[in-house]
């Protein structure tokens, strides 16, 4: 990706982007888009049954990122007014309905807090890393729901109630060296202690003595906090 502030830098940026795209993907095709400065990244969790019916399970705010990788996700978004939230969810559901989409999906937007504008980015046709944020608010196992939808169950059977409760934030725990510009830090985990508190969920596959390999993403755990309000979650 290249951001341009003026027309004069376009020629060199186009050349670099085409070269990188060709070397990485075997194609020099690129897309020109309007650059949205300091947006919020807001995504809508949806499910469709493949027959034109779809539901929304609210939004997740994934604006805290590093190098375009999400670090902290929360629901509901602290910056969305109710009418905007409803409109974004409605459009996400409409998209899934018109596609006869089946399964779990995430419709993603860029949101401008200063004027309430939002722009479609993409739709991810899968369960996302941050899905536990939605799970703890709605009290629904989204992976189980995805399996049931795939087996032909109706949405009304899978989602008998859609009543979100409280606030939830997920913190991604990465094997990185914070003293060295957050470079990946593979190696042995000598000490590992999972927080055991009410309202705290830890999803992980590592343990004391585990060897973090150098070949994959540095994410090793997800800590999800759920409480009645955002201040309580942060506390």
Q: Which residues are catalytic?
A: 126
**What would the two tokens of residue 180 be?**
């060295």
Q: Give how far Cα 89 sits from Cα of 66, 139, 225, Å.
A: 26, 19, 24
DSSP conformational letter for 117: -
Q: Which residues contact 84 (CB under 8 A, 6 or more apart)?
A: 111, 116, 118
Q: Round to whole Å and give the CA distance between 219 and 182.
A: 12
User: Cα dihedral angle (71, 95, 167, 142), rounded to 10 degrees?
Assistant: -80
Q: Give how far Cα 138 sits from Cα of 63, 168, 191, 226, Å.
A: 21, 10, 33, 11
**What would the two tokens of residue 105 be?**
């999906």
75, 133 contact by CB (below 8 A): yes
């Amino acid at each position: 990706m290249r951001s341009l502030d003026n027309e004069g830098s376009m020629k060199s940026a186009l050349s670099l982007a085409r070269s990188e795209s060709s070397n990485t993907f075997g194609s020099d095709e690129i897309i020109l888009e309007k650059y949205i400065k300091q947006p919020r990244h807001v995504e809508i969790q949806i499910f469709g049954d493949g027959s034109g019916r779809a539901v929304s399970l609210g939004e997740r705010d994934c604006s805290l990122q590093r190098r375009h990788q999400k670090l902290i996700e929360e629901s509901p978004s602290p910056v969305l007014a109710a009418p905007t939230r409803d409109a974004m969810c409605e459009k996400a559901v409409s998209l899934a309905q018109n596609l006869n989409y089946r399964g779990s999906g995430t419709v993603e937007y860029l949101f401008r807090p200063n004027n309430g504008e939002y722009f479609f980015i993409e739709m991810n046709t899968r369960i996302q890393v941050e899905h536990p944020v939605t799970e703890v608010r709605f009290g629904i196992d989204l992976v189980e729901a995805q399996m049931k939808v795939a087996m032909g169950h109706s949405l009304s059977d899978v989602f008998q109630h859609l009543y979100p409760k409280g606030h939830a934030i997920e913190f991604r725990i990465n094997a990185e060296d914070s003293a060295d510009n957050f470079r990946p830090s593979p190696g042995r985990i000598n000490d590992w202690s999972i927080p055991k508190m009410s309202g705290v969920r830890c999803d992980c596959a590592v343990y004391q003595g585990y060897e973090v390999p150098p070949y994959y993403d540095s994410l090793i755990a997800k800590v999800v906090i759920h409480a009645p309000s955002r201040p309580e979650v942060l506390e």
